[in-house]
Amino acid sequence: MVTPPPGSLSELRALLAEGVPLGQSNDDAVRRQWWAALDTLQRDVLLQEGDGTPAGVWLASPLPALYEPGLLEHLLGWVWAPAELAALLPPGGALLPGQRSRAQLAGGFRRLALREDDGTDPLLVVITPTVQAALCLDGPPEARRLVVRFDPQALSAALNLLDARLRSEAGTEAEQLRRSLQQLGPLRSDDQLAQRFWPRLAERLAAMAPSVTLQPLMQSGPERPGANNRALSSELALLEALTHEVRTPLATIRTLIRSLLRRSDLPAVVQQRLEQIDGECSEQIDRFGLIFLAAELQQQPETGNTATSLARTDLSALLEQLQELWQRQLARRGLELVLNIANDLPAVLSDPLRLETMLGGLVDRFSRGLPSGSTVTLSLQPAGARLKLHLASSSEASSTTAASGANQRELVGPVLSWNPTTGSLQLSRQATQRLFARLGGRLTERGESGLTVFFPVC
């Protein structure tokens, strides 16, 4: 009988979750909590200690969780990453071409192999002389939770488990971790840290857009269906690595911009430019959220009834609520929006929270290839037992351009399509159709006739 290797990261998450109340969040909500917790830990805790450049160590999975340069340059890290992601990353941890390799930094991180029993929920342990913390996500679907531990007992047990893991698979790395911890000297824990951490986390969550999420890297367990699972997992690993590098600076820029917009002494032209940048950041963050949602859905088996968790949704009111936002987005590309909604329309069955983001993605998908000066007409009309949501462009020339752009799209895996003429990267038609099916709708796309989505009425 083969003895299982010690120290799985799933075991570590269970250890950290001991005594923590069961969660009541879905995955979207808990991942917003995770990003807010990472931001709070780095900006309001670690970078506020001492001279702002702490020494210490960090261990993470399945991706590097730290992103503040001031921390990466001074903390030594270890990251357990999926094999698919390890094959995509060059040595030293650089995630994008031209990015400075973290091997050139004073700290940086070492890459280690993720095992099948480790799971793919995010995990981070940080140890400095004055701050010791562990964060992870844990729990089954619809009962997810963010776990944050500052107590010495839990952290000591976590380090013992990680030490055993490293000794079993990389003895040199285990020695380096023990040596680095010894060099930190006596550790001092702040009894008031939790009291400072949670209010700041709540403030960030309140300011965070609902669509700022990261979907799971891949589905765990033995029931991952499909012959293309390995290729899809590789695509997801690359997408999440890119999102880690793209979403974080966008969210940071948006936070800084919104803090500036609260000032009352800004010239009008400055305020206008800042609002445009804020809108562009939000639009791109939403696009990445949709890509991840589609990629996650692509792994799930096809069923006869893909629409789940649908509720009564006032689609007319939702469109009117989003009209001003879409007008601003289209105006940045020289386009206009006309909304044409019939009177006294019934409610539909859908998921109003995800539908809002999905409709924004649909408007972006349809309008991306239109020439400046075009008008996008969005109409909502009754169609028997359904409501018909239709997107059309203003003129034959615009329609021909949109149709030509659609025909030039090339598939990039099962989720993405790319237009080599415009350089636009979007969801594939199949992925978009599956997303709308999950939201209770049926999407049809017929070139010059535009896009149409049918929703069942209540």
pLDDT of residue 50: 56
What are the φ and ψ backbone dihedral angles of 294, each rounded to 5 degrees?
-65, -40
Strands 375-383 and 336-341: parallel
- What pLDDT tens digit does each residue of the chain (458 aa) get? 345 566 799 999 999 999 998 888 887 788 888 988 998 998 889 888 755 556 899 999 988 788 777 787 789 999 898 775 544 443 444 332 223 333 333 346 788 888 888 988 999 999 999 999 999 999 988 889 999 999 999 999 999 999 999 999 888 999 999 999 999 988 887 878 888 999 999 888 776 544 433 333 333 344 444 445 555 555 555 555 565 556 666 776 777 787 788 788 889 898 888 888 888 887 787 777 777 677 667 656 555 445 556 888 899 999 999 999 899 888 888 899 999 999 999 999 888 777 888 898 889 888 877 888 999 999 999 998 999 999 998 754 444 444 445 556 677 666 777 766 656 677 888 888 888 888 889 998 765 568 899 999 98
Q: Model confidence over 136-167: pLDDT tens digits? A: 999 988 889 999 999 999 999 999 999 999 99
pLDDT of residue 439: 86
DSSP assignments along 2-64, one per residue? PPPPS--HHHHHHHHHTTPPPP-B-HHHHHHHHHHHHHIIIIIIGGGSTTS---EEEEEESS-
Tokens 């963010």 found at: 146
Q: Where are the domains of the chain?
A: 9-207, 229-299, 311-456
pLDDT of residue 97: 28
pLDDT of residue 197: 93
Residue 345 confidence (pLDDT): 93
Q: Could you say which of 3.30.565.10, 3.40.630.30, 3.40.50.150, 3.40.50.720 is the CATH number of the domain covering 311-456?
A: 3.30.565.10
Task: Kindly tell me the burial class for residue 248, based on how many C-beta atoms sit within 10 Å of its own C-beta (0-12, 13-18, 19 or more).
Answer: middle
Q: What is the predicted pLDDT for the residue at 31?
A: 83
- Per-residue pLDDT reduced to its tens digit, 241-253: 565 556 666 776 7
The confidence score (pLDDT) of residue 310 equals 80
Strand partners, 387: 382, 455
pLDDT for res 258? 77
Q: DSSP letters of 299-331?
A: HSPP-S----S-EEE-HHHHHHHHHHHHHHHHH
pLDDT of res. 372: 87
Tokens of 216: 């799971």
